[in-house]
Amino acid sequence: MLQLLPGQVTVENDVVFGTTGSRDLKCDVYRPPISGSDRPGVLLIHGGAWQSGDRSQLRYYGIQLARYGFVGVACEYRLSGEAHWPAQIHDVKAALRWMRANANQLGMDENKICVTGNSAGAHLALMLGCDTDTLEGKGGNMNVSSKCAAISSIYPPTRVYFNKNDAENKLLGATGNDKVAAEASPINYANKNFPPTILIHGNADQVVPNSDSFNMYHALNKAGAGVELHVFDGAPHAFDRLAEFAKLCVQLITLYFDRKVVNPRPVILPDGQ
């Protein structure tokens, strides 16, 4: 079982992990207080309606997960003002491939790379679970896999629509249509081989309704994939900006990744049942 490690988390900023073809893509690396050669990894993806925000938003998660022994990598991706879909998934896949390609240097087990994201980043985290080769892009390290071991998705949009709201229209661009929107919707990729997933949402979310997480939960559960759903009563969008909720989310994510990836185990009661 994962435990908090004593000591200081080391943060390395502005590390280049890939390229868009016209500029470098960068990440921040959070290293655990105690180094190792087979640490689990976690890719952190920020939110912002695909049109704003940056990787520094998940600094708290990066530091706290590193304290539990994860090598954290918070990546940037092209926002919709710079490039339309599927540039965003291309970039986060490039980040995950970079992690796997550099697992030895990072002191990380390449088979234990998890991913977490919030809001738009939660959508991209779920898209990393989609088993398709059509969304890889050409961001670097094309000879390694972009598959992840488990997913944490906090208030995710799970179905994207064309011509529904401004953020999704900006994501899809002028050439967007219902077909592209469907291809950008993680719920359409639910199958029994989807990575184990924990969904976290608030039932007072007026930005992304919690029905998105409920629908994703039911789709994955019906398909036979491992999935868990936590709903906070009265919590609005971005509720984890409050310290008490952020701390609890870290605990939920850590426990889930631990029992599904780091130290896989069933839930067994003390009496063995």
Q: Across all residues in the chain, what is the average pLDDT? A: 96
Q: How far apart are CA 226 and CA 155, in angstroms?
A: 18
Kindly tell me if the per-residue pLDDT of 163 is higher than 80.
no
CATH number, domain at 116? Answer: 3.40.50.1820
Q: What percent of the chain has pLDDT over 90?
A: 92
pLDDT per residue over 80-120, tens digit each? 999 999 999 999 999 999 999 999 999 999 999 999 999 99
Residue 245 forms part of a structural domain: yes
Residue 95 forms part of a structural domain: yes
Residue 113 forms part of a structural domain: yes
- E-strand ranges in the chain read 10-19, 24-31, 39-45, 71-75, 108-118, 150-154, 197-202, 227-232
Q: Angle CA(250)–CA(245)–CA(209) in degrees, nearest 5? A: 100
Beta bridge partner(s), residue 115: 43, 151
Residue 267 forms part of a structural domain: no
pTM (global) more than 0.95: yes
pLDDT per residue over 113-151, tens digit each? 999 999 999 999 999 999 888 899 999 999 999 999 999
Domain interval for residue 255? 10-262
- Tally of domains within the chain: 1
In this prediction, residue 271 has a pLDDT band, given cuts at 50, 70 and 90, of: confident
In this prediction, residue 14 has a pLDDT band, given cuts at 50, 70 and 90, of: very high
CB contact at 8 A, 217 and 199 = yes
Q: How far apart are CA 155 and CA 202, in angstroms?
A: 7
Q: What percent of the chain has pLDDT over 70?
A: 99
Residue 61 forms part of a structural domain: yes
Residue 95: the pLDDT is 98
More confident residue, 261 or 132: 261
Kindly tell me if the per-residue pLDDT of 236 is higher than 80.
yes
Residue 106 forms part of a structural domain: yes
Residue 268 forms part of a structural domain: no
Residue 2 forms part of a structural domain: no
Neighbour-count burial of 234, counting CB atoms closer than 10 A to its CB (0-12 exposed, 13-18 middle, 19+ buried):
exposed
